[in-house]
Chain A
């Protein structure tokens, strides 16, 4: 959906037009009171519960969202939007440049204005308004999706009845900014990067983007998960003869990461990766409130359910607890659960029965309070 009036970004730039690519699941009730927004993570997209067209794989949360599933599309109308700055149809660095002097053919590239998590949420609000929805039953999301959930609840408190920030944090930590910086440097170091104007040479900084993804992917897992999945198992290279050579044989974990890296390059744009990681780095709920994380939520009537995972070291439980306590200071209605899991940060995307029960239960309980369906 295109919004010709565009959006005034936090950086001061007026971006117009703005396009938001989205998918919906289930049906909006006559009272328009059963809408749930699911916010995707850094490298996610709007293909929440149906086939991703580039990879041909099922949607990233198809195990969670669908008829009879914890986010039940028989009951709820679920909207998932590609974030502003993304590369799956919403306006981002790969979109044609707009404004004075633009020829409509050249993409934004690195000139795309820096966006924030709040800009992403305000762009989503454009679409929600256009759909004629005045009140969201819930906003749900993990990782960067969880940041958007918090921003929704802080920016539009009267619009959000229930909020479920999962595996996330009230601000991006120094460690996480550091990881993002390594990812960005890997992209910059690729000779095919060409200062961000790689499209001019028909090139893609594939090596750099793949290394960025490999490094980031390690942070989404855990030592236990890697050991369980791969251990020290070795895959023999059919062309290598020396078993102790540097390149001859490969640990399974290496080949797994290489696969993650190379398949990522096919579906993601490097400039989008830079834009979105930057947006995450900027995220800090306390920044306008002298570091007081509770102030954005004062007087909130939103019901919160914070979920963390015990082996998540990227967004550890300590940060979720910090968020829970900030919400306590705002006297908000808060549930806070740490799910026991050895799967690391990615646990929210994987099979965790306790987590499924938590999502289902929180939404059903909130629906009872909201007196819907």
Chain B
């Protein structure tokens, strides 16, 4: 399992109900069940991954963040996790609202568009930046809603979400996470990880 997934798992209390949106190969679900005794379910858009996960005994349903969250009741889960997907959904603000409606907490990770390499590339070449993280052309990328860490913080403020925990990690999730200055994180963090709750939830 990737380090950022392990960091997500550490944010989750044992024995809780978890929904992992975009559960992929189900690694996080499996880890949460085996090591933390969580009742963890997944939603995944790629049918092959769904079939593979279910064939491994993991509870995963076919669906996606934009269309399937509205069907769950309020506070159906203790945690709702969205890994590296926020930038690719149709309506990120609505997805966050749904996550914090159906879950008491939301855990969101996304690649940071404010990273210094992206800023420098745009400044020097005048073209859409391409890096190891942002590695598809603008006309092909599924990442239709990129944002920076500061952008995300602003949205949380507007929507009345409390940031319980945040950290910046590098793409491979190999180096230790960074949790001090958010401005520096916005410059040097390749991806960000947030644990949110609703202010009056």
Which chain A residue shows the least CB distance to B74? A331
Q: Are A333 and B41 in contact (CB under 8 A)?
A: yes
A29 adjacent to chain B (CB < 8 Å): no
Residues of B within 8 A of A336 (CB): 50, 61-63
User: Could you tell me the distance between the alpha carbons of A361 and B51 in the complex, rounded to whole angstroms?
Assistant: 9
B76 adjacent to chain A (CB < 8 Å): yes
Residue-by-residue, is A316-332 near B (CB-CB < 8 Å gives 1, otherwise 0)? 00000100110011110
Residue from A331, A333, A339, A364 whose CB has the most chain B CB atoms within 10 Å = A331
A365 adjacent to chain B (CB < 8 Å): yes
Which chain B residue shows the least CB distance to A368? B57
Number of A positions contacting B (CB below 8 A)? 28
Within the complex, the shortest CB–CB distance from B162 to chain A, in Å, comes to: 24
User: Could you tell me the distance between the alpha carbons of A220 and B52 in the complex, rounded to whole angstroms?
Assistant: 26
A340 adjacent to chain B (CB < 8 Å): yes
Q: Are B71 and A325 in contact (CB under 8 A)?
A: yes
B73 adjacent to chain A (CB < 8 Å): yes
Residue-by-residue, is A247-290 near B (CB-CB < 8 Å gives 1, otherwise 0)? 00000000000000000000000000000000000000000000
B88 adjacent to chain A (CB < 8 Å): no
Contact check: which of A328, A333, A334, A354 meets B51 at CB < 8 Å?
A354
A163 adjacent to chain B (CB < 8 Å): no
User: Could you tell me the distance between the alpha carbons of A303 and B61 in the complex, rounded to whole angstroms?
Assistant: 12
Residues of A within 8 A of B151 (CB): none
Q: Are B76 and A361 in contact (CB under 8 A)?
A: no
**SS class, residues of chain B in contact with chain A:** mixed
Residue from A340, A357, A365 whose CB has the most chain B CB atoms within 10 Å = A365
A181 adjacent to chain B (CB < 8 Å): no
Which chain A residue shows the least CB distance to B59? A335
Which chain A residue shows the least CB distance to B57? A365
User: Could you tell me the distance between the alpha carbons of A111 and B116 in the complex, rounded to whole angstroms?
Assistant: 81
Which chain A residue shows the least CB distance to B69? A328
Q: Are B47 and A328 in contact (CB under 8 A)?
A: no
User: Could you tell me the distance between the alpha carbons of A331 and B17 in the complex, rounded to whole angstroms?
Assistant: 10
Residues of B within 8 A of A61 (CB): none
Chain A positions 339-373 with a Cβ under 8 Å from a chain B Cβ: 339-340, 354, 357-358, 360-362, 364-366, 368
A338 adjacent to chain B (CB < 8 Å): yes
Residues of B within 8 A of A48 (CB): none
A149 adjacent to chain B (CB < 8 Å): no
User: Could you tell me the distance between the alpha carbons of A277 and B39 in the complex, rounded to whole angstroms?
Assistant: 39
Residue-by-residue, is A289-333 near B (CB-CB < 8 Å gives 1, otherwise 0)? 000000000000001011000000000000001001100111101
Q: Are A328 and B59 in contact (CB under 8 A)?
A: no
Residues of A within 8 A of B76 (CB): 331
A38 adjacent to chain B (CB < 8 Å): no
B68 adjacent to chain A (CB < 8 Å): yes
User: Could you tell me the distance between the alpha carbons of A368 and B37 in the complex, rounded to whole angstroms?
Assistant: 12
A84 adjacent to chain B (CB < 8 Å): no
A153 adjacent to chain B (CB < 8 Å): no
Which chain B residue shows the least CB distance to A331? B76
B60 adjacent to chain A (CB < 8 Å): yes
Q: Are A365 and B59 in contact (CB under 8 A)?
A: yes
A337 adjacent to chain B (CB < 8 Å): yes
- B residues contacting A by CB (< 8 A) are 39, 41, 47, 50-51, 54-63, 68, 71-73, 76
Having A333-B39, A334-B41, A335-B61, one finds 5 other A-B pairs with CB under 8 Å, namely: A325-B71, A335-B50, A338-B62, A361-B57, A365-B54
Between A and B, 26 residue pairs with Cβ closer than 8 Å are A306-B61, A321-B62, A324-B61, A324-B62, A324-B63, A325-B68, A329-B71, A329-B72, A331-B76, A333-B41, A334-B61, A335-B50, A335-B54, A335-B61, A336-B50, A337-B54, A337-B62, A338-B62, A339-B51, A340-B47, A358-B54, A362-B55, A365-B54, A365-B58, A365-B59, A368-B57
Nearest 10 interchain pairs by C-beta: A365-B57, A361-B55, A336-B61, A357-B55, A331-B76, A328-B71, A325-B71, A335-B59, A335-B54, A361-B57
